[in-house]
């Protein structure tokens, strides 16, 4: 299966200020997921032979990952699917499409493919009756580019994703391309959690690797505006990251059970020429108007319908450079309990940060400002606003707000394709930046995970007593 072209999936939209429910629930990663970081070994070529491989670092990474994937699925597959895992019969193929020795591939690579046609890709071949079926092939030059930009964990993720397709080849594929691809992401996430726990013999990763891995997924998303029903659809950035974290959090059983025909995806097509031209982004000034209208609307309804209270909107303002004097730290996103003209406090944000975030997209700005606004809501509920738990809750609540935007439950804002991708980008780019938010004890991976929990489950996991 082409790394960037086949899939299917599962979010069910509920009305009002409920949740986007999956067929199972997920939990939030609270600790610091990291490997034991024991000295890394390398598996010998004779143990995991790869046709065309060199002794370079990328083939070593791929071989190490494949060795651990074989071990993981040999041990996990019987518990999840009730039978032994049949090893791949077609083997593995490494190619540099710009430097191919045809003699090294007498029958081509996976599915008999010409190795020169593998440029910038990796795939699992499941076709029957063709040469080198049940195999994984990869462009090592492409994986080298991914490693140079996003670290050594991304080539290992590619191997894990393609091995996920090999698992599907043994138990059956979901009905659509986007579900097939995101389920493979989920299965890759389950393996990655096993590596992060220090269980792998060869592969290893630490907390920073997880942040880099999520950043790298941006390259693997479908172009914004691609429909979820496209024949080769793989999923939006949010869809793919969410599936990966679902496997990381909940394990392979969740991947087995949650990718049926009722799974809904956030990926969507542009519906107008205007949206296509501006990539779904409102003008910057309109984005600020959307903030001023939609956040009070959401929180007023949230208090009335879910939290059993009455919400008073805080003042909302911008600043340039230095935050208001009421701020406890020199940061770009501010909530002051004693700021503003009334009793509801002040939410303020740096106009420079807003301009920079807008380069990611309009909803990146909305996501950022929603976090201190959620702190204002916590304050009105009598909850803390200045600790790690408060920040985690605020990001989770921002996910809840974003679900209502996606679900078209707010009259003052509508969703556009790619908006939720922009939320993920903002959290990875700015979420643990000490110049943006005062508390930086949460990693980007954790911030995205708590955002996802709020998006999928509503207020329940957000620590506001709901």
Q: What is the pLDDT of residues 338-376, one digit of tens each?
A: 876 777 899 999 999 999 999 999 999 999 999 999 999
What total of structural domains would you count in the chain? 2
What is the extent of the structural domain holding 458?
A: 277-462
Question: Are 118 and 21 found together in one domain?
Answer: yes
Strand-pairing partners, residue 438, are none
Residue 5 is assigned to a structural domain of this protein:
no
Residue 270 is assigned to a structural domain of this protein:
no
Distances in whole angstroms, Cα of residue 204 to Cα of each of 10, 97, 209, 465: 30, 28, 9, 38
Is residue 296 exposed (0-12), middle (13-18) or buried (19+ Cβ within 10 Å)?
middle
Chain segment 367-420, per-residue pLDDT in tens: 999 999 999 999 999 999 989 999 999 999 999 999 999 999 999 887 777 789
Question: Are 338 and 227 found together in one domain?
Answer: no
Question: Are 305 and 196 found together in one domain?
Answer: no
Q: What's the pLDDT at 72? A: 98
Question: Are 253 and 356 found together in one domain?
Answer: no
Identify the domain boundary among 225, 257, 289.
257
Q: What are phi and psi of 446, to 5 degrees?
A: -70, -40
Residue 384 is assigned to a structural domain of this protein:
yes
Q: What is the C-alpha separation between 40 and 35, in angstroms, rounded?
A: 11
Q: What is the C-alpha separation between 10 and 21, in angstroms, rounded?
A: 8
Q: What's the pLDDT at 20? A: 40
Phi/psi region, residue 52 (left: phi>0; alpha: psi -120 to 50; beta: rest), is left
Residue 112 token pair: 């008999």
Question: Are 215 and 339 found together in one domain?
Answer: no
Residue 350 token pair: 């740096």
Three-state secondary structure call for residue 460 = helix
Question: Are 87 and 213 found together in one domain?
Answer: yes
Residue 1 is assigned to a structural domain of this protein:
no
Q: What's the pLDDT at 229? A: 55
Question: Are 231 and 345 found together in one domain?
Answer: no
Chain segment 435-465, per-residue pLDDT in tens: 998 877 889 999 999 999 999 999 999 999 8
Under-50 pLDDT residues of the chain: 1-16, 18-39
Q: What is the C-alpha separation between 26 and 291, in angstroms, rounded?
A: 29
Question: Are 241 and 281 found together in one domain?
Answer: no
Question: Are 338 and 415 found together in one domain?
Answer: yes
Question: Are 281 and 210 found together in one domain?
Answer: no
Question: Are 360 and 227 found together in one domain?
Answer: no
Residue 316 token pair: 């909302």
Residue 262 is assigned to a structural domain of this protein:
no
Three-state secondary structure call for residue 21 = strand
């Amino acid at each position: 299966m082409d790394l960037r072209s086949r899939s299917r999936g599962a979010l069910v939209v509920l009305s009002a200020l409920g949740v986007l429910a999956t067929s199972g629930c997920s939990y939030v990663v609270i600790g610091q997921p990291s490997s034991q970081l024991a000295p890394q070994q390398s598996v010998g070529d004779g143990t995991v032979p790869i046709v065309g491989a060199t002794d370079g670092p990328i083939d070593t990474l791929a071989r190490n990952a494949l060795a651990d994937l074989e071990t993981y699925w040999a041990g996990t597959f019987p518990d999840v699917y009730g039978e032994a895992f049949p090893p791949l019969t077609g083997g593995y193929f490494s190619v540099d499409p710009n430097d191919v020795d045809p003699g090294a591939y007498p029958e081509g690579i996976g599915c008999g493919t010409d190795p020169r046609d593998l440029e910038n890709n990796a795939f699992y071949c499941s076709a029957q009756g063709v040469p080198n079926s049940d195999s994984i092939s990869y462009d090592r030059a492409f994986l080298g580019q991914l490693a140079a930009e996003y670290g050594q964990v991304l080539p290992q993720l590619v191997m894990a994703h393609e091995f996920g397709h090999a698992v599907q080849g043994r138990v059956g594929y979901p009905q659509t391309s986007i579900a097939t691809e995101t389920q493979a992401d989920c299965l890759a996430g389950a393996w990655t959690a096993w590596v992060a726990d220090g269980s792998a013999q060869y592969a290893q990763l630490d907390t920073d690797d997880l942040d880099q891995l999520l950043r790298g997924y941006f390259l693997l998303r479908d172009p914004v505006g691609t429909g979820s029903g496209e024949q080769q659809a793989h999923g939006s950035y949010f869809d793919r990251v969410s599936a990966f974290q679902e496997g990381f959090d909940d394990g392979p059983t969740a991947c087995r059970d949650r990718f049926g025909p009722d799974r809904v995806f956030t990926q969507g097509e542009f519906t107008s020429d205007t949206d296509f031209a501006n990539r779904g982004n409102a003008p910057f000034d309109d984005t600020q108007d959307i903030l001023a209208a939609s956040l009070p609307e959401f929180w007023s309804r949230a208090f009335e319908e879910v939290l059993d209270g009455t919400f008073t909107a805080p003042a909302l303002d911008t600043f340039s450079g230095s935050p208001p004097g009421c701020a406890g730290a020199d940061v770009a996103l501010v909530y002051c309990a004693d700021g503003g003209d009334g009793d509801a406090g002040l939410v303020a944000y740096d106009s420079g940060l807003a301009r920079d975030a807008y380069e990611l997209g309009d909803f990146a700005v909305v996501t950022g400002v929603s976090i201190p606004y959620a702190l204002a809501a916590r304050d009105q509920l009598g909850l803390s606003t200045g600790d790690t738990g408060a920040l985690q809750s605020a990001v989770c609540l921002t996910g809840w707000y974003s679900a209502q935007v996606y679900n078209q439950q707010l009259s003052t804002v509508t969703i556009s394709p790619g908006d939720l991708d922009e939320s993920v980008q903002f959290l990875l780019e700015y979420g643990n930046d000490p110049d943006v938010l005062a508390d930086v004890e949460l990693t980007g991976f954790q911030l995205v995970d708590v955002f996802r929990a709020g998006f999928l489950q509503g207020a329940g996991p957000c620590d506001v007593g709901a």
